[in-house]
Amino acid sequence: MPLIEDIGHVLAPPHQAGRPFILGGLVAVMLGLALGPWLAWLGLLFTLFCLFFFRDPERVPPGRVGAVVAPADGRVTSIAPAVPPAELGLGAMPRWRVSTFLSVLNVHVNRAPADGIITRIAYRHGSFLNASLDKASEENERNAIALRLSDGREIAVVQIAGLIARRIVCTLREGDSVQAGERFGIIRFGSRTDLYLPEGVRPLVAVGQTMIGGETVIAELAT
């Protein structure tokens, strides 16, 4: 069964953001059949890479009241108190931030960490440093999202471009209602996602731990 699940994971349908790249690869394959086999092979390899990179497998959230789930796949590189991005207007009080680094091998679809209402979305231009570096949270191009929970507390999720990432996709709008595990965007070709927990809530994960977006429980909200 695990092998079947792994195969299904790799062969999952691609996210819609990857369709232009996949189509471009197929066009290169067709042109290569007429112009030369080297172009056809390059087009085929590029298409296969894009099918793998943009895969969008189904995920099953835990369904527990008060569970905060991982907004992305990848490896936790940092857990530390930090002030949320100023553009979100969440105040200057530090709160726990969990940073997840996504390599090109990870699923790059971002997912909502909890049920709530989107109160603020703020995009900011920036650098393209290695997303595994701690200063990437402050200096890199990013898209910050504030999510208000049913009890009035707020969570922040930040999509951060990486060394080779050049496109952050976010399908949310301010005022949207989301559910834990719901897809809301993708970052192309290597990136990082930061999650800022509500004040007083501590993370349950550790640095080096592997996250499964929409499924791994990062924290439990106090009831």
Q: What are phi and psi of 96, to 5 degrees?
A: -65, 130
CA dist 143 and 140 (Å) reads: 10
Question: Which amino acid, one-letter code, is at 24?
Answer: G
Terminal CA-CA length for the chain: 37
- Determine how many CB atoms are found less than 10 A away from the CB of residue 35: 11
Kindly give the interhelix angle for 37-53 and 19-35, rounded to the nearest 10 degrees.
170
Return the closest-CA partner of residue 185 out of 138, 122, 147, 143. 143
78, 99, 137, 191: the catalytic one is: 191
Q: Give the three-class secondary structure for 49.
A: helix
Return the closest-CA partner of residue 195 out of 100, 119, 110, 109. 100
* 191 included as an active-site residue: yes
- Burial category of 149 from C-beta neighbours within 10 Å (exposed 0-12, middle 13-18, buried 19 and up): middle
Residues with catalytic roles: 191
